[in-house]
Structure 1
Amino acid sequence: MADDHYLATGPRVGLRHFTAEDRAEFTARARESVRLHRPWLSSPTTDAAYDSYFAKLQEPSREGLLICELESGRIAGFLTVNNIVHAAFRCGAVGYGAFAHAAGRGLMSEGLRLAMGYAFGELGLHRLEINIQPGNERSIALVKRAGCRLEGYSPDFLFIDGAWRDHERWAITSDMFERT
């Protein structure tokens, strides 16, 4: 895919919106990554699940972004900004996942930083919140590298993989992002 299709690019990855045409690659990558993702998240692994997920990403309070390797165009991971509220709040809740073939290569760190820049710039947000299960050490390390701060702990916060899961609440503001 040409660079002009990307919302932002870094040295190794580009950020772009989801499309209906991404279904086959996304679901294949999600199926390859089930062991990596569980119990932290559950990504769409079927056509029907992807179509439902993609439809939800069209809502005005959501933004769905794919993190793609620039060299090959392959999808390395994904990021969503959910529950976007403008006006005085200007905040969104971030969710993300790396796919197994890309895990541990620093692509998500680069993609997360690009997505934060996009959210604080193009989307006009001031604050991004990221909720992470306490045992998810890789995800906690990722948000720390991105400059997020730990703000609290929420017991039984989200229903994931068949159970209510505790989460740590991490956040970053546009002011913090500019300083990092």
Structure 2
Amino acid sequence: MNDGAIDVFEAGRTDAGRRVTLRHLGSGDQGEFLDLVRASVDLHRPWVSLPSTPEQFRAYLARYAKPDEESLLVRVRDSGAVAGVVNINSIIRGRFQSASIAYAAFAPSAGQGYMSEGVELAVRYAFEQLRLHRLEAQIQPENRASLELVRRVGFRHEGLSPELLYIDGAWRDHERWAITSSMIDIAPTPPHATLPER
């Protein structure tokens, strides 16, 4: 986790009309995060399961302290309220330069477009600051709100993976969606140091 990377990324933004900002999830967020998870149980089930106890939160935080994982809070710029969370998971370097992205809105701010803006900002952060080339999202076919969100952000549909992830007590089918750095207009960035020359 690199808070400085977010600061550099945010400072370089020219889209002043943004309603949201990003910040890494930290230990000081435990109380607010757990309260928001409790308030969002009906919104999240059966799509996502987030930590709901202090022990689970600490384990979640430890996971996202690793160099191949990032957890970003989406905060409403005017109020500072946490609208949701975007996770960049399983970052793979070398020839792949890819990761998975997952996200969840919190009920008090849901339905206002904050997560669309937050995911778009997280995608730009992944490409411009982390210098990834590709992000993938796996979404259950019945999760219409999430499918609409990735469409708005510019992801393309790549297929269906039967029984891909174990969620809510069963192996669930997921649609695969992806976006690459060449699909959107991003700030010019040098390739990541782990990318081979050829």
SS of equivalent residue, structure 1 residue 178: coil
Q: Which residue of 2 aligns with 1:149?
A: 156
Distance in 2 (CA, whole Å) between partners of 1:172 and 1:124 is: 13
Per the alignment, residue 42 of structure 1 pairs with 49
Q: Percent identity?
A: 49
In the alignment, which of 109, 115, 140 is matched to residue 122 of structure 2?
115
Gaps of 5+ in 1: none
Amino acid at match of 2:134: R
Greater Rg by CA? 2
Q: Say whether residues 1:167 and 2:167 are aligned partners.
A: no
| SS of equivalent to 2:30 | helix
- Give runs of aligned pairs for residues 58-97 of structure 1, distance below 5 A: 58-97=65-104
| 1:52 correspondence with 2:84 | no
Equivalent position to 2:136, from 129, 136, 140: 129
| One-letter code aligned to 2:163 | D
> Aligned residues, how many?
176
Q: What root-mean-square deviation, in Å, do the aligned CA atoms of Structure 1 and Structure 2 show?
A: 1.5
Q: Deviations over 1:59-105 (max 9, x none)?
A: 11101100001111111100011110111100000010000011110
Q: Which amino acid aligns with 2:45?
A: R
Deviation at 1:51, TM superposition (A): 0.6
Given that residues 132 and 140 in structure 1 are in contact (C-alpha distance below 8 angstroms), is that contact kept between their aligned partners in structure 2?
A: yes
Cα offset for 1:41?
Answer: 0.3
Matched AA of 1:59: K
Cα distance in 1, alignment partners of residues 156 and 25 from structure 2: 28
Deviation per residue, 1:14-39 (Å, 9 max, x gap):
00101100000001001100100000
TM-score, normalised on structure 2?
A: 0.85
Q: Which runs of 4+ in 1 moved over 3 A?
A: 4-7
Q: 1:39 aligns to what SS in structure 2?
A: coil
CA distance in 2 between counterparts of 1:25 and 1:175 reads 37
1:103 maps to 2:124: no
1:35 alignment partner, SS class: helix
Structure 2 portions without partners, runs of 5+? 1-5, 187-198
